[in-house]
Structure 1
Amino acid sequence: MSDQPAVSAPPRLRRWEQRTEVPLFGVSLLFLLGYAVRVLAPHHAGPWRALALALVGTTWLAFAADYAVRLRLSGLGHRFVRVHWLDTVVLLLPLLRPLRLIRVYTAVQQRREQPRLSLYARVIAYAGASALLLGFSAALAVYHQEHAAKNASIRTLGDAAWWACETLTTVGYGDAVPVTPGGRVVASGLMACGLALLGAVTGSFSSWLLQVFRREDEKRPPESR
């Protein structure tokens, strides 16, 4: 996901992004794995926690290196931070990297003559995959912030996963709510992402239904309309 059209990017930058998006998506999954182990491993599992921290640090360095290369290849200088603001936010908050899934799909499809999925299917697939990864990331983050807090209602990863589902779907039963400042920051971000993803899915599905009904009307004889 980018804030600047790919067509305006220099050729070297486009080639770099096409070659690195898929490998970096794999690196982002390793980051998420390391973060999950770091959060969920008991305190007495020192070696595992240390290994997870090393994995998180190493993968973040890969993200930083990619950001530095793209900044140099873009030719924008310090304006790159403003033009590609989402990439900057994702670098600072790597748990938001699922929002870049669309760039992974674009990089893969550039190697083919045409997309394998229709526009509506692509929107729904992107929103669904992003919601799944963001929900899991947010559940880990809010569990990390909340499980040891006083008067917390989110004590287990299951509680956090239930809360993430409620928040992403904008249901909000209120049975599990963050009470720490960090947890509320995570909740605010997830609510914003949830509204955007839900709007994309419902809008795409509605457009698909209208298209189907329009085609059916066009096939009917004029006298039966």
Structure 2
Amino acid sequence: MDDDSRQARWERRTEIPLALASMLYLAAYAVRVLAHGLPTAWRHTSLAVLFAAWAMFIVDYAVRWRLSGQGHRFVRTHWLDTLVMILPLLRPLRVVRLYEAVQRRRGQPRLALHARVITYAGMSAALLGFACALAVYRQEHAAPHATIRTFGDAVWWACATLATVGYGDVAPVTPLGRTFAVALMACGLALLGAVTGSFSSWLLQVFSREGEDEGRPPRS
């Protein structure tokens, strides 16, 4: 049975608008980081989009806090939401839920559990890697003795870090850049574990069904 509380209804109504706002936030941040020769008017526009989207995230958090009726316990039980509100660059991960929300509203069947885990983990890795590449490039490209000089270097570093390979040919040298690196390493391990665990479970189920089918007597 679906949750019909006021908080659940609010979350269902705002799911798609907030996902779109998350994409706008990431796009505006990318413009400010990568478009060095952008006219001043466009840079001000992208900054306005950033603050408008961030304001939406703060309002959403405040409303859900109010509707939950948990008081200060809401911050402890929703620590990830609190972190994302403080660091809105992580907010685009909410887009991962957009596909399922659209399917649910159209009455279409959702993907199987294993397919959802693999799909969501892949989308999360792509969005998180892109966001961290932007943040690290912004901190590193002008730093003394930096090895991450271009956005391509930042993307390569993010891919190697998410894949837990860590070639070491490029690495952040600033304190904030290394902080992003530690967070990305932790997320890479978690996402990789989710994908491999789900895929292994799916294979076990497939082989188990095949074994059951082989053990059944043939039909006459």
Supply the distance in 1 between the matched residues of 2:2 and 2:108 (Cα, whole angstroms): 21
Shift, 1:45, TM fit: 2.9
2:83 corresponds to which of 89, 94, 98: 89
Between 77-86 and 157-166, report the one with greater CA deviation: 77-86
Out of 142, 145, 149, the residue aligned to residue 148 of structure 1 is 142
Structure 2 CA distance for partners of 1:106 and 1:18, relative to 1, 3 Å: farther
* Distance (whole Å) between structure 1 residues aligned to residue 36 and residue 155 of structure 2: 19
State the AA in 2 paired with 1:119.
Answer: L
Aligned counterpart, 2:9:
15
- Given the alignment, which residue of 122, 127, 133 partners 2:121? 127
For 1:40, the equivalent position in structure 2 comes to 34
Matched AA of 1:123: V
Taking the aligned partners of 1:58 and 1:129, their CA distance within structure 2 comes to: 25
Corresponding residue for residue 205 of structure 1: 199
- The one-letter amino acid paired with 1:189 is A
Which one of the candidate residues 67, 72, 89 is aligned to 1:73?
Answer: 67
Q: Against the structure 1 CA distance between its residues 93 and 29, is the aligned structure 2 distance closer, same or farther, given a 3 Å change threshold?
A: same
Q: Of the candidates 181, 184, 188, which is equivalent to residue 187 of structure 1? A: 181
Deviation, 1:104, is 4.2
Closer/same/farther in 2, CA of residues 183 and 9 from structure 1, 3 Å limit: farther
Corresponding residue for 1:3? Answer: none
Contact 2:125 2:162 in 1 (8 A): yes
The equivalent of 1:54 in structure 2 is: 48
Paired residue type of 1:163: W
TM-score normalized by structure 1? 0.89
- State the alpha-carbon separation in 2 of the partners of residues 127 and 84 from structure 1: 21
Supply the distance in 2 between the matched residues of 1:50 and 1:98 (Cα, whole angstroms). Answer: 21
- 8 A contact 1:167–1:194 mirrored in 2: yes
Of residues 164, 173, 176 in structure 1, which corresponds to 2:167? Answer: 173
Task: Return the letter of the residue paired with 2:83.
Answer: V
Deviation at residue 107 of structure 1 after TM alignment: 4.3
Alignment identity in percent? 65
Q: State how far apart, in whole Å, the 2-side matches of 1:10 and 1:80 are.
A: 19
Pairwise CA distance, 1:23: 1.1
Q: Give the AA of the match of 1:77.
A: G
Say whether 1:136 aligns with 2:136: no
Q: Supply the AA of the counterpart residue of 1:80.
A: F
Distance 1:56 1:216, change over 3 A: same
TM-score, with length taken from structure 2 = 0.91
Would you say the 8 A contact 1:138–1:190 is kept in 2? Answer: yes
Which is worse superposed, 193-202 or 9-18? 9-18
Deviates more, 1:189-198 or 1:76-85: 76-85
Give the direction of change, closer, same or farther, for the CA distance of 1:119–1:89 in structure 2 (3 Å limit).
same
Deviation per CA, 1:20-57, whole angstroms, max 9, x where unpaired? 01110000000001100111121563222221111111
Q: Shift of the alpha carbon at 1:175? A: 0.4
Secondary structure of 1:220's aligned partner: helix
